[in-house]
Structure 1
Amino acid sequence: MAKQAGTRLNQLPLDTRAFTGRGHELAQLLELAGLPGPDGVPGTVVISAIDGMGGVGKTALALHAAHVLTERFPDGQLFVDLQGVHERTPRDPGDVLVEFLQAFGMPPGSIPAETGARAAAFRDRLAGTRTLLVLDNAGSEEQIRSLLPGTGGCLVLITSRLRLKGLDDAYPLNLDVLPIADAIALFCSIATPGRAAADAPLLEEIVALCGRLPLALRIAGAILRGRRSWSLQHLADRLRANRANRADRADLTAFFDGDRDLTTVFDLSYRSLGNDCQIMFRYLSLVPGPDADAHAAAALLDTDPDTADDVLQDLVDHNLLIEIAPGRYRLHDLLRLHASTLAGTVDPAAERETAMDRLLSYYSHCAQTASVTIARVPRPAPDGPAPVHAPALGDPGIARAWLRAELPNLEAAWNHAHTSHLDHHTTALAAGLAETLRTDGPGPRALQIHQAAETAARSGLPATHADALSDLGRLRRIAGAYSAAAEALEPALRIYRQLGNRFGEAVVLLELGEVRYLIGDHLGAADVQEPALEIFRQLGNRRGEAAALNGLGRVRFMTGDYPGAADAQEGALRIYRQLGIRYGEAAAQTNLGEVRSAIGDYPAAADALERALEIFRQIGNPHGEAINLTELGELRSRTGDYPAAADALERALEIFRKIGSRLGEAAALHNLGRVRHRTGDLSGAVDVHERSLEIYRQIGSRGNEGWALNSYAATIAALGDHDRALSLYQQALVINRERNMADDEAISLEGIGEHHLHVGATAQAVENLKAALEIYQRLGKRTDVRRTQDRLAEAAVGGM
């Protein structure tokens, strides 16, 4: 029955007892209710458009807010379900106006026939009142325009699955899923506290399986409450089973409590889409990773990125897709399940496989292109045809940013290819991941990916297998597994030579040189790096030439040829600058800093290292940054700035551990031990020296073991255990001579001479000190020469 004029209307449905959370959103709505006009009093209609995906709790929030605000709107509260997305036909606004006018007491015979006249009569009834309207489940802006009041004092709360962008005066409020604490609270309030009593991790898993979606949480809670024999664990097992195999049988059947059905809720939104949007929605469920951009979506649908982005934006407007950042889109987990079910029903398996093949090819080709752009050491170009549409990745900064942004998607794509036994995609995606995993880590994950890729590549073309072996060898070398690295690189070299692939041959020779350098076989390193340099020069490959010069410079440094080392590094630096390869420039600067520090030119060394550090940070290369910090820490220590030295080394240690570089970790520990020794913290020095030495022995870095033994022996001697120190120096001497490490050999001899001086064996002391001096003079190490000469003079005086 219609109410008489002047009678207060209250059409609000019952507020839910289990309303939970939404404190921030509710505060926004309450604030809107009190917004004044320009003159300080309410002068315009205040409208809030609440949008969000189906089941996210839009109606619950609007109704809860309306009940809280009842006293602020004493002239009435109106409510209508517009059925914009519903099993039934959307409500005609003219019919809704008839109901409102009758509720205000207008006789049916007096209600105008035309919608516009009805809207005018409705606005007249609301004029001068403080009335609250809840227009629930709106299907479009057109459906609600005639239902809006015309003068101030009223509040309109609109809910819709669509983003009503055409309502210029509305305050948009997009509703997301619940925070985890609120999701748990909602689930427990429905299930009743006694039924939901359990450990927090299990509750967290259940609300995660519900996607923190309020409707899914309510259904799951109601099911648990109604199934008295079920435990929380049993519910979790059932929800988990629905996601166990998305391709075959995963669906939303677990979210049906006899009344509410999440599948139906989502399907209503899906059926409201146009054909292109429906296809895109279904195909997005094929994306292995967490999100996608327009290029990836275009690859899926075999269209262009602009067309794909238009469709993606339409899905966002329907709240069936989340735009997590400009141009990046993600499906909610439960919507992904629904889309997957639809795809399995509607789209033939062959078409889905073809779409997935396009997507994996797109990811692998772009990742390999970006890796070629940023690599310091040359990489082979991507195999196979380029995607029809791909981002421009020729700039190193853009290429690195793309790889990092897409890393979760690239890893997920690799996982899909690997578990689906798609060998070609497994190897191609691993090749695309190689550079970013090398610089950013984590090391164990990188090794896992490339070991599996090498296995998959065995069934493919020999060149593909050699490429996979080369990447695997490189990653093993970075992880400190030198013998295993050589075991991968040597067969790669044989394959490249059999194929006459000079480029691949030179790349592997460079890598073998790195392995030999790191185990202390410096002559062996030069034996492979020099032919690599020659091949790259013959090929006109300037990037490869610079990389070979860089490697040769490091070998010359370790054998005491400081002028030759500086010459090689300066040559590499010139080429890298000409090519605009900033990572290579920074690496060459770091190595130059090490050379200049060794000959005592500390200001020039600091300048080179600081320039390199700035570049590494600018380009976001943590591995290079950590190497540089290790060298910078040693330089600061040599110049007596021990706090700065320790700070640099601690930061390097943190980065090396994060990316999984055991070699780098050992080097940082070694240099940190030297700082602690120099500052008098001998017990602290022993601790880190022992850890460093242990890592070098574990990874088989024989040359670095000799280096570490020298420093460890010096600390032991400072603690007064001279016999043990002598034994350590003698062990180091054997290794350093075996590995042709002249500088470290001299340090071992000097340490042994110091021991003999301590015990009064002057003749033996002089013999060892003279041998050390001869090496230092040959190497041109002026500071070390002066120090050793002073000790020899003291020995001569003491022996008189």
Structure 2
Amino acid sequence: MERTFPPLASLHLALAGIFQTLGRYEEMLAAAERAAEIAAAIGHDRFLAWAEERRGSAFSFLGQPERARAALERAIPLLEGMGDLGRLQIAICNLGEAHRIAGELEDADRYAEQALHVGQRVGNPSYIALDLNNLGQIRLSLGKWTEAREYLERAEEVVAGFTSASTYGAYTPAMLSQLLLCTGDWDGAERQLERALGIAEVSEDRQVLEMIHLTGAELEILRGEPEKAAARLEALPRLEGGLRSLIEATLAWAQLEGGDVQHAAEIATQAVSRAREAGEVLALADALRVCGMVLAAQGRKGEAEEAFAEGLQIARSLPYPYAEARILYEMGKVDEALTIFQRLGARKDIERAEEKLAAPA
């Protein structure tokens, strides 16, 4: 029986990896849990550690950060004890991602740094690029945009050295597009999106494709093309997990800007509920901003103020200064928003705020 089980556990672990790439995170979790059951039944610590890492990563992809942390915190000491640095790097990386989703940005940053150190010991350039991207993404949320750019430029250098196409190669331009969009370099963001999409469409990696289309949709909204943004997001597969809360929030924003307030209200409410129930605190701050915008458009001033106030409290607590400034702008506190936009270097937002302040009362 013991001769049969390890290959069977290996099969389920391999399936978990395939389902991850396809974005079928519920099936990824099921495969990982079956591998964990087999490993526990035969007392195979190595397979159990691998399976726990896959379980934790699946929970993270499904937007369940608390369950992700629990599984990954079980896996990490086992992997450390075995000296399995490759799997350890992935486990620490995804533990950081679970903290990022939950809005625990300082913890996320610490784990991303740890993952990078382990990745450098392993010497796998794909892992190193991924860790640098994660650090760039976290610093972007924290409002440390200069540091975010430095990490992403380092990731660019690593990606440039890839001798063959890699799934991870799409993440760096995808993250750069987000940074450039925030700084107001819309043309630069568009170029990076095109580059990222060219790589991602070959690998069909759901995670990076969602990142790309989410940024692309926001760019279209800001350029006054909400119908294109809505069509882009509505074309994405409606699968559980991933960036679904943010996709719904951005879709609601596009519908609002396109004049479809009723549907915008329905989707915005879904986005807030989904993010709240899953504990996706970072996404909740953005979803509440959109929800407040929709409520204001419906003339529901009191409810809009409540949504903005909650979003503002979350953004300040993380901290997530760009979300804070965008909420302040929607609340009519343009002077406060402008101060933050100027500190961050958000050029387009600065222009918009200055125009609003200069307009006749």
Give the number of the structure whose residues are more often strand, by fraction. 1
Identify the match of residue 735 of structure 1 among 334, 340, 343: 340
Cα distance change of structure 1 residues 533 and 423 upon mapping to structure 2, 3 Å threshold? farther
Structure ranking higher in helix proportion? 2
- Counterpart of 2:323, as a letter, is N
C-alpha displacement of 1:448: 1.7
Distance 1:595 1:368, change over 3 A: farther
Aligned to 1:432: 54
CA displacement 1:20-56 (0-9 Å, x = unmatched): xxxxxxxxxxxxxxxxxxxxxxxxxxxxxxxxxxxxx
Match of 2:66 among 420, 430, 444: 444
1:570 is matched with 194
- Taking a change above 3 Å as real, the CA distance of residues 667 and 423 of structure 1, as seen in their structure-2 partners, is farther
8 Å Cα contact 2:25-2:62 kept in structure 1: no
Q: Tell me which amino acid in the other structure corresponds to 1:510.
A: N
Among residues 78, 85, 99, which one is paired with 1:476 in the alignment?
Answer: 99
**Structure 1 range deviating more: 404-413 or 519-528:** 404-413
CA distance in 1, matches of 2:25, 2:241: 13
Q: Distance in 2 between matches of 1:692 and 1:494?
A: 34
CA contact (8 A) 1:519 1:700 kept: yes
- 8 Å Cα contact 1:623-1:656 kept in structure 2: no
Counterparts in 2 of 1:373 and 1:740: CA distance versus 1, 3 Å: farther
CA deviation digits over 1:542-577, x for unaligned, max 9?
311211111111111111111111111122222222
Corresponding residue for residue 373 of structure 1: 18
Report if the CA contact (8 A) 1:570-1:592 is conserved. Answer: no
What are the ranges of 5 or more consecutive residues in structure 1 without an aligned counterpart?
1-299, 304-354, 377-395, 715-724, 754-768, 770-790, 796-800
Residues in 1 aligned to 2:120 and 2:33: alpha-carbon distance in whole angstroms: 36
The CA deviation at 1:479 is 1.6
- CA shift in 2, pair 1:544/1:408, >3 Å: closer
> Counterpart of 1:492?
115
Larger Rg belongs to: 1
| CA pair 641-447 structure 1, distance change in 2 beyond 3 A | same
How does the TM-score come out when normalised to structure 2?
0.87
Matched residue SS, 2:82: coil
Give the 5 Å matches for 1:33-52: none
Alignment partners' CA distance in 2, 1:467 and 1:584: 17
| Equivalent position amino acid for 1:697 in 2 | R
Report the CA distance shift for 1:580/1:438 in structure 2 as closer, same or farther (over 3 A): same
Residue 375 to residue 734, structure 1, CA distance change in 2 (3 Å): farther
**Could you list the per-position Cα deviations for residues 478-520 of structure 1 after superposition, in whole angstroms to 9, with x for gaps in the alignment?**
2211110111111222232244332221110011111112122
Do the aligned residues in 1 keep the contact of 2:26 with 2:62 (CA within 8 Å)? Answer: no
Q: Distance in 2 between matches of 1:740 and 1:430?
A: 41
Is 1:403 matched with 2:104?
Answer: no
TM-score (norm 1): 0.42
Distance 2:342 2:80 in 1: 40
The CA distance in 1 between the partners of 2:213 and 2:146, in whole Å, is 24
1:458 match: secondary structure = helix
Q: How many residues align?
A: 358
Checking the alignment, whether the CA contact within 8 Å between 1:623 and 1:659 is kept in structure 2 is: no
> Which residue of the partner structure matches residue 664 of structure 1?
283
Query: Would you say the 8 A contact 2:56–2:68 is kept in 1?
Result: yes
- Give the C-alpha shift of residue 445 in structure 1: 1.0
CA contact 1:702–1:735 (8 Å) conserved in 2 = yes
Letter paired with 2:234: E
Q: Distance in 2 between matches of 1:475 and 1:639?
A: 34
Instruction: Letter of the 1:502 partner, please give it.
Output: P
1:542 corresponds in structure 2 to 166
TM superposition shift of 1:608: 1.6
Gap change, CA 1:411 and 1:687, over 3 Å in 2: farther
RMSD: 2.8
Q: Which amino acid aligns with 2:305?
A: V
User: 2:234 matched to which residue of 1?
Assistant: 610
Report the alpha carbon displacement of residue 684 of structure 1 after superposing the two structures with TM: 0.5
Are residue 587 (structure 1) and residue 211 (structure 2) matched?
yes
For residues 74 and 216 of structure 2, the distance between their equivalents in structure 1, rounded to whole angstroms, comes to: 37
**SS of the counterpart of 1:700?**
coil
Task: Work out the CA distance in 2 between the residues paired with 1:485 and 1:710.
Answer: 28
Q: Is the 8 A contact 1:520 1:741 kept in 2?
A: no
Separation in structure 2 between the aligned mates of residue 579 and residue 466 of structure 1, nearest angstrom = 22
For 1:445, give the aligned amino acid. Answer: R
Distance 1:600 1:459 in 2: 54
Structure 2 segments unaligned to the other structure (5+ residues)? none
Residue 139 (structure 2) aligns with: 516
Deviation per CA, 1:163-201: give whole Å up to 9, x if none: xxxxxxxxxxxxxxxxxxxxxxxxxxxxxxxxxxxxxxx
Higher relative contact order (CA 8 A, sep 6+): 2
